[in-house]
Amino acid sequence: MLTPKQSRVVIWASDPRMEEVLIRNAALIAQARVAGMEVVHAAPYLGSGRDTSEGDNACNTRIVEEAGEKFAPHEPCDLFITNWENDAERMQAFLRFVMEANAEALVFKECRDEPVRRLVVPIGDGVRAMEQMWIARQLARAWGAPVHGLRIVPRAAGLPLGNPMAETHFNRIRELARLEAGMMGLEPAIEVRFADNVAAAIVSEACLGDFFVLGAPNYGRMSQHFHNSIPDEVVRSVPCSAVMVVGKRTKVRTLRQIFWDQTVGVNLKPHDKAEVVAMLVDRLVDARQVPASLRDNILSTVMERDRLRPTAVGHETAFPRATVPGLASIVGCLGICPHGVRFDMEDEQPTKFVFLLLTPSDFHGEYLSTLAQIARCMIHPDVRARLLKCSTPTEVAFLLNGE
């Protein structure tokens, strides 16, 4: 079997009362993200007994830096899990540290005294939305709660209500959110609406028993001016628990860098999904993208993963995947099957576009970025129709890149 390398999760507890919650959530995420992930517990209680005569801002920055040096001096951390800081400067210092470490982070606010009844995910689109949905899926499975996707469109940036194009615009946003959620293994209800104030609209959705899964603001805002950002305002306003998902900066690769002449197959005619996956794995072997010695292991891993969680996500598209230790980056192969192939017995439509993705075990962010790019292409019926008309891999590669 292919064995992924262990990742490193650090529990950073500045509030002793949050330790138990953070450890429990860290174990949940560690188990789901990579089998055998190591969880490192480090709990420097930031600020306790410290001399703050040098000034609160400088002191908080120094506390965070010293705490980071204490438990992460020798090897990088993949994910920090911490509690929400009510002190704005201390929160800012922590987020700056995480960004400089180029790590991911989950920042939990815990205030629930009752079971979670619903996970609310206020989303935009792209990789950040998918990061939120991935976390929501793990929590939903653990807690047995439904997921509610919420997309607030700023009124100034949208079409006025009553405009005949508004409904089409809403439907496109909703369908993209559903496709991205499907890639993460979710089938949430998706609500889309206009609002003058995005943060206020999100807060108005909150009910007792909700748990909010929020995305972080853009990197510029997060590094210097997190206070009063949308997630900060929401967390301070809702009467329920929440987590903010902070993704790492990843080098964005274009689809054409992953799917090129030798890693695209057109006019394939497989009898079933096992045959099309085998075709794509063999194409990667022939293109020297993966060693021939790993061929059978990759194939069995992909099929086992699909058996546990079907990878067809609608829009005639499927995303079979395997983690392959030792890869330098994501490797992909696209197979276009004009007559379709059944990936899931419940599919209303046969799958015509099969994106096989092989990833290193530590490329979570780049993987989600790639999925987000694919989703933005495959949501459009006209793009799918044009892909089916392509007679050469080169045409496909140019089309995927919007050329």
pLDDT tens digits along 303-317: 998 888 878 888 899
Asked if residue 389 belongs to a domain, the reply is: yes
Asked if residue 215 belongs to a domain, the reply is: no
Among residues 64, 80, 110, the one where a domain terminates is: 110
- Greatest mean pLDDT range, 30-39, 121-130, 255-264: 255-264
Asked if residue 236 belongs to a domain, the reply is: no
Total of domains in the chain:
2
Neighbours of 290 (CB within 10 A): 20
Residue 370 has what pLDDT? 85
Integer Cα distance of 272 and 269 in angstroms: 9
Integer Cα distance of 129 and 67 in angstroms: 30
Q: What range does the domain containing 320 cover?
A: 255-400
Confidence category of residue 46, pLDDT binned at 50, 70, 90: very low
pLDDT tens digits along 161-189: 556 666 666 777 777 777 777 777 777 78
Task: Give 357: exposed, middle or buried? Use CB within 10 Å, 0-12, 13-18, 19+.
Answer: buried
Single out the residue of 249, 234, 252, 251 nearest to residue 107, CA to CA: 234
Q: In the predicted model, is pLDDT for residue 98 greater than 60? A: yes
- For the ranges 10-14, 65-69, 339-343, 382-386, which has the lowest average pLDDT? 65-69
* Averaged pLDDT for residues 260-280: 91
CATH of the domain at 304: 3.40.930.10
Q: In the predicted model, is pLDDT for residue 112 greater than 70? A: no
Among residues 76, 94, 110, the one where a domain terminates is: 110
* Averaged pLDDT for residues 102-107: 88
Single out the residue of 134, 355, 120, 119 nearest to residue 258, CA to CA: 355
Integer Cα distance of 390 and 377 in angstroms: 15
Fill in the DSSP letter of residue 343. S
Asked if residue 279 belongs to a domain, the reply is: yes
Residue 348 has what pLDDT? 65
Tell me what the pLDDT averaged over the chain comes to: 79
Asked if residue 206 belongs to a domain, the reply is: no
Among residues 82, 110, 138, the one where a domain terminates is: 110
CATH of the domain at 9: 3.40.50
Residue 184 has what pLDDT? 77
Residue 155 has what pLDDT? 64
| Angle formed at CA 328 by CA 323 and CA 330, multiple of 5 degrees | 55
Are 338 and 352 within 8 A, CB to CB? yes
Q: In the predicted model, is pLDDT for residue 33 greater than 80? A: no
Residue 108 has what pLDDT? 94
pTM above 0.85?
no
Q: How much is the CA Rg of the chain, to the nearest whole Å?
A: 22
* Averaged pLDDT for residues 115-130: 85
Integer Cα distance of 303 and 321 in angstroms: 9
Asked if residue 4 belongs to a domain, the reply is: yes
Helix (H, G, I), strand (E, B) or coil at 265: strand
Are 263 and 283 within 8 A, CB to CB? yes
Fill in the DSSP letter of residue 216. P
Are 316 and 349 within 8 A, CB to CB? yes
Asked if residue 193 belongs to a domain, the reply is: no
Neighbours of 52 (CB within 10 A): 13
Helices (H), 225-272: 230-237, 255-258
Residue 113 has what pLDDT? 67
Asked if residue 155 belongs to a domain, the reply is: no
Integer Cα distance of 47 and 59 in angstroms: 8
* Averaged pLDDT for residues 375-382: 88
Q: Which residues contact 113 (CB under 8 A, 6 or more apart)?
A: none
